[in-house]
Amino acid sequence: MPCSVFTTKSELNKKNILNSVSLYKTPLWIYDANIIKNQVKKLNKFNVIRYAQKACSNIHILRLLKKYGVKIDAVSYGEIERALISGFNSKNDEIVYTADSFDENSLNKVVSDNITVNIGSIDMLHQLGNISPNHRIWIRVNPKFGYGHHKKTNTGGENSKHGIWDLQSAIKVVKVYNFKLVGIHMHIGSGVNYKNLKKVCESMLSCVTSLNYDISSISAGGGIPISYKLNQSCINIDEYFTVWNTVQKKLTKFFNHPITLEIEPGRFLVAESCILVAKVNAVKRIKDVYFVITDAGFNDLVRPVMYGSYHHISVISNSCKLINKKLKRKTVIAGPICESGDIFTQSNDGEVKPRLLPLIEIGDIIIFHDTGAYGSSMSSNYNSRPLIPEILFNSGKCQIIRRRQTISEMISLEL
């Protein structure tokens, strides 16, 4: 069930929201550290939890995760720098750089800081091997099928640019450069379906046992889904672990030494920890549908526009009038962006999909739930709207972890 403002013990409650709105204005992101901590605990049977920071890369969130014992994945030079600033060590595989290509900065950085690389193309093996033979690497295998909550988040199969298809050719190159191959990694997509789990595990077993190479680790990748809708059942983590643990046990027997089992979640750790808080600036009625225009747009939260993603929406009414709250109206929640797709209530084929919500008026507060993953990390300056603040509640304390960008900061690169 999505984190709910009114039903959980979370710090994402009405009082904290209204206080934050009066202090920091809207739109803003509000996080609850405790929710992240609890999500980490749910995965503690895995030997290594490696956070895919692309989901939310605010350094204060990274520091929390480091404190909770999580390691980190970085997919760019910028993400490596974020990990280092947040206290992750480049040694001991604490940071793994995962990519399908190098640019000059990322290649130089992994070499100078001796950062383990999860290799997604044979070209990367040559580029790294030429300047850093013996480097510690993983190989990301494309298991030839994939699954994501949307076709844009599917990372396996013929239409995917990710991972290595021809593992045997890759292993030959690994031997040429005398790389230290730590393990094999598979990530079939984001928001995976439990039904595919057996297939991925079989693929991992057959890849690893045909390697003719001794490794110490496997990675189940990321992709664990969460429930964005009320009353939606979700993946059972214990069952998920048990299936992967069976692979781990078989490989431990096969190699006759322990095999480390890693998992690489982004969404699962942070999605439910955050809400996007917006204010209503206009309401239009078109026949029986109310169009509510908030001050947050797809420059802030792009998921509904990009994938038709569903985010639970609730309302804090500003009105003192006695409105019949039980009477729900067909409501479209939109943003201020000058583009017709700036609609938060749409289906994944881009159709506008009104929700049944209580009467909403100007000044009301709209809460978009479960926006901690791929929320602020995917936001932009489109329509010249500055990046919005991020606030963190942690055991009763409230901290501003990113202030609002000013207009002059936004345009300064062009001056």
97 binds ligand LLP (CB under 6 A): no
| Integer Cα distance of 77 and 352 in angstroms | 38
Other Cβ atoms within 10 Å of 131 Cβ, number: 10
Return the residue of 98, 160, 376, 379 that touches ligand LLP, per CB under 6 A: 98
190 binds ligand LLP (CB under 6 A): yes
Q: Is 336 annotated as a binding residue?
A: no
Which helix (H) or strand (E) segment holds residue 204: the answer is helix 197-209
Catalytic residue flag (residue 338): yes
264 binds ligand LLP (CB under 6 A): yes
Which residues, numbered 224-263, are part of the site for ligand LLP (CB under 6 A)?
A: 224
Q: Is 81 annotated as a binding residue?
A: no
Query: Catalytic residue among 201, 234, 274, 338, which?
Result: 338
Q: Is 414 annotated as a binding residue?
A: no
- DSSP SS3 for 188: coil
Size of the site for ligand LLP (CB under 6 A): 22
Q: Which residues pair with 357 in a beta bridge?
A: 329
Return the residue of 55, 137, 215, 251 that touches ligand LLP, per CB under 6 A: 55
Return the residue of 27, 146, 156, 223 that touches ligand LLP, per CB under 6 A: 223
| Integer Cα distance of 135 and 59 in angstroms | 27
Binding mask of the shown chain, residues 146 to 165, with x at each position contacting ligand LLP by CB under 6 A: -------x-x----------
Give how far the C-alpha of residue 188 lies from the chain's centroid of Cα atoms, to the nearest Å.
15
- DSSP SS3 for 59: helix
70 binds ligand LLP (CB under 6 A): no
φ/ψ of 117, rounded to 5, equals: -115, 135
Smallest separation, CB 222 to ligand LLP (Å)? 3
Smallest separation, CB 298 to ligand LLP (Å)? 12
Return the residue of 21, 28, 30, 52 that touches ligand LLP, per CB under 6 A: 52
Smallest separation, CB 236 to ligand LLP (Å)? 16
DSSP for 290-319 reads: EEEEES--TTT--HHHHH-----EEEE---
Cβ atoms of 27 and 294 within 8 Å: the answer is yes
Return the residue of 27, 129, 143, 221 that touches ligand LLP, per CB under 6 A: 221
Q: CA–CA distance from 251 to each of 179, 209, 222, 243 (Å)?
A: 21, 8, 20, 13
Nearest residue to 245 (alpha-carbon basis) of 227, 220, 222, 268: 220
The token pair that represents 316 in the structure block: 């804090």
Q: Is 140 annotated as a binding residue?
A: no
| Integer Cα distance of 93 and 71 in angstroms | 8
| Closer residue to ligand LLP (CB): 183 or 221 | 221
Q: CA–CA distance from 346 to each of 43, 351, 361 (Å)?
A: 32, 5, 21
∠ CA 156-93-236, rounded to 5°: 50
Q: Which residues pair with 235 in a beta bridge?
A: none
Smallest separation, CB 303 to ligand LLP (Å)? 5
**Residue type at 291?**
F
Q: Is 266 annotated as a binding residue?
A: yes
Smallest separation, CB 403 to ligand LLP (Å)? 24
Smallest separation, CB 266 to ligand LLP (Å)? 3
Q: Which stretch, 85-93, 186-194, 338-346, 399-407, contacts ligand LLP (CB under 6 A)?
A: 186-194
**Binding-site residue positions for substrate:** 267, 303, 307, 339, 374
Catalytic residues: 338
Binding site for ligand LLP (CB under 6 A): 52, 54-55, 98, 153, 155, 187, 190-191, 221-224, 264-268, 303, 307, 373-374
